Amino acid sequence: MEKIGISGVTKRSEVTPDNAKKLSGIFISLDTKIMEKKMPNKKPRSAEEKLSIVLEGIKGEISISEICRKYGLSQSVYYKWRDKFFEGGKKALTNSSDSLTPRTDQAKIEELEKVIGRQTVVIEVLKKNLKMS
């Protein structure tokens, strides 16, 4: 099978049905390779993955472009994650709305105990007012 390159055809008159097929194969192959490079598989990343990637970049042991190649990211995505991390740490990289206001179980318990205490006082005051009437 004869190999033909783009430089092998310089004039329109040199394009024959035979080499036109070969050339179209070259262009299709090039288009496929370009599309593969431009459009990496986009898969959703967890907050932990994003954090790990951002921290790897902050360490500076390898370049950001190498990190992006390694994980199939564009540099703009990496820098967006990094900026979010600097703005709010791991919390900013998490997608769920629950985690935007994290509360520990102990904090919830303390808040509910305060509510119960206030309600108890209100009930006692109402009982006294009823007895006086």
Q: Across the chain, how many H-helices and E-strands are there?
A: 6, 0
Number of domains in the chain: 3
Provide the pLDDT confidence category of residue 12 given band limits of 50, 70 and 90. low
Q: Residue 40, Cβ neighbours under 10 Å: how many?
A: 13
pLDDT, position 20: 58
64, 75 in Cβ contact below 8 A? yes
Which tens digit of pLDDT belongs to each residue from 72-127? 999 999 999 999 888 886 676 676 655 545 567 888 889 999 999 999 998 998 98
pLDDT-based confidence at residue 6 (cuts at 50, 70, 90): low
Residues 119 and 97 grouped into a single domain: no
Does the reported pTM lie above 0.85? no
Structural domain for 97, as ranges? 45-102
Domain check: are 89 and 111 in the same one? no
Distance CA 88, CA 83 (A): 9
CB 53 within 8 A of CB 78: yes
Task: Kindly state the average pLDDT of the residues 48-65.
Answer: 93
Q: Are residues 130 and 92 in the same domain?
A: no
Please report the pLDDT score of residue 81 as a whole number: 92
Do 59 and 23 lie in one domain? The reply is no
What pLDDT, on a 0 to 100 scale, did the predictor assign at position 39? 46
Confidence of residue 46 (pLDDT cuts 50, 70, 90): very high
